Copies of this chain bind each other. A is one copy, B any other.
């Protein structure tokens, strides 16, 4: 156990699996596969495994995704880290190939591969292409691809081990806005399921559902609301495909109030799917969404920070829904 960042936790999982499996490869572009944390050895995948197995490439994320896909089809486990600027450059590769090849071949094709898709840090000032948070929806709509979005280092490590051991292709969304989260994470490998939401707080007044980059503000809001006496049940989706319907529906059956929180654009954000599943299964509940408006994020911090859902927004929306 040591304090580890998201990236250190992820690379620790990768390092362990690559040590076990001499065939496994890793393709990177901008972000050298290196991480350090006080008291633990520096992880440098490139140095440890050599440039035959771990290689950086030109700026061609579509090739990176295609490369690991082809490696997987040929029987080698493979993973790639796609920087956020390229996370839609490779979209078609996942949508039309990774997600469909098993079905199209009647089960002949097998793809034990992980696509780590960085989402922007949503840094104020970066604007549009460099501040958006939107790919959760695009990737979660793809069938045949498991799409997960961990929200803390502990889940990140466990889900990365699970993803690397999965015989299906996994889109592992990494909200780079979480890169500063640091917490105690076990040193040995462990698995965390890829299809289960996590209940972060139990309560009976309202269900709040969030995921990925939005979770820190959701958790902050949860504490604020609880300190004001509201019994909040807070769910972290963790997996977007498949979505853990049972956990959501059971909770909303109890609370009859569902608030979803997304940093993704409002229209067709993951919360829309969560609400739809609850509404199909629970009568008489009330629903509300908090999400980023249907607008690209402008550069000016004044505009951007006003638009991005935060704990205050969540608290106010929850009170409206419960009150």
B-binding residues in A (CB < 8 A): 88-89, 91-92, 95-96, 99-101, 103-104, 106, 127-129, 132, 134, 137-138, 140-144, 241-243, 264-265, 267-273, 275-276, 279-280, 283-284, 286-289, 293-296, 298-299
Contacts and interface: CB of A to CB of B under 8 A. Distances in A.
A108 to B, nearest CB: 13
Nearest to A95: B88
B129 A268 contact: no
A91 to B, nearest CB: 5
Given A91-B91, A129-B104, A268-B141, A287 B298 contact: no
B279 A273 contact: no
**Which of A91, A132, A287 has its CB near the most chain B CB atoms (within 10 A)?**
A287
A56 to B, nearest CB: 21
For the complex of A and B, list the 8 residue pairs with the smallest distance between their C-beta atoms, beginning with the closest: A104-B128, A272-B276, A103-B296, A100-B128, A275-B276, A279-B287, A100-B296, A88-B92
Given A138-B141, A141-B265, A275-B279, 12 more contacts: A88-B91, A99-B296, A104-B127, A138-B138, A141-B264, A141-B269, A143-B295, A143-B296, A268-B272, A268-B273, A272-B272, A279-B279
A104 to B, nearest CB: 4
B288 A280 contact: yes
A224 to B, nearest CB: 23
A106 B264 CA distance: 21
A138 B141 CA distance: 8
Contacts of A286: 283
Given A88-B92, A296-B143, A267 B243 contact: yes
Nearest to A132: B100
Contacts of A280: 275, 287-289
B144 A296 contact: yes
Contacts of A267: 140-141, 143, 241-243, 273
Contacts of A272: 268, 272-273, 275-276
